[in-house]
């Protein structure tokens, strides 16, 4: 009987862990999932490819980003909505050990090659 009187205050104290600032792993995982879905939805609405979305948001959980992107895609198709053109330009992918000039030269060479094929 005395043991139950001692355990009762302990149980009450442990149920208030959120008030002490201890984060609940389940709530933290749910928040990351929701954030990933929001990122994916925003990327789809901004007419970004899913790969671009992964590149721009490396810390976001990829499965959640894809789920949000897919949900927004379905929603936009069902309601015949147009996306909004992204304002932030795409950043070039720089390979380790490559100079910035090489990246620019590769893009200009690709554009020149496309122009010569078109003519």
Residue 8 belongs to some domain of the structure: no
| pLDDT surpasses 80 at 39 | yes
Confidence bin at 78 (pLDDT 50/70/90): very high
| pLDDT surpasses 70 at 14 | no
- Structure confidence at residue 90 (pLDDT): 65
Instruction: Say if residue 117 is in the same domain as residue 68.
Output: no
Number of structural domains found in the chain: 2
Average pLDDT over residues 54-58: 90
Do the beta carbons of residue 28 and residue 55 sit within 8 Å? no
| pLDDT surpasses 80 at 83 | yes
**Average pLDDT taken over every residue of the chain:** 76
- Structure confidence at residue 8 (pLDDT): 72
Do the beta carbons of residue 38 and residue 9 sit within 8 Å? no
Residue 5 belongs to some domain of the structure: no
- Structure confidence at residue 37 (pLDDT): 95
Instruction: Say if residue 27 is in the same domain as residue 65.
Output: yes
- Structure confidence at residue 68 (pLDDT): 95
Q: Which residues constitute the domain of residue 109?
A: 92-119
Residue 59 belongs to some domain of the structure: yes
Residue 9 belongs to some domain of the structure: no
- Structure confidence at residue 66 (pLDDT): 94
Instruction: Tell me the two tokens of residue 30.
Output: 């749910």
């Amino acid at each position: 009987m005395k043991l139950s009187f001692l355990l009762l205050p302990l149980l009450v104290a442990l149920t208030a862990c959120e008030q002490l600032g201890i984060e609940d792993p389940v709530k933290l995982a749910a928040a990351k999932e929701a954030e990933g879905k929001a990122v994916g939805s925003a990327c789809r609405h901004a007419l970004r490819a899913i790969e671009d979305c992964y590149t721009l948001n490396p810390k976001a959980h990829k499965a959640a980003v894809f789920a949000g992107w897919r949900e927004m895609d379905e929603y936009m198709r069902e309601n015949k909505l147009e996306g909004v053109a992204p304002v932030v330009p795409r950043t070039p992918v720089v390979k380790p050990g490559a100079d910035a000039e090489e990246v620019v030269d590769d893009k200009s060479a690709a554009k020149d090659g496309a122009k010569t094929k078109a003519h």
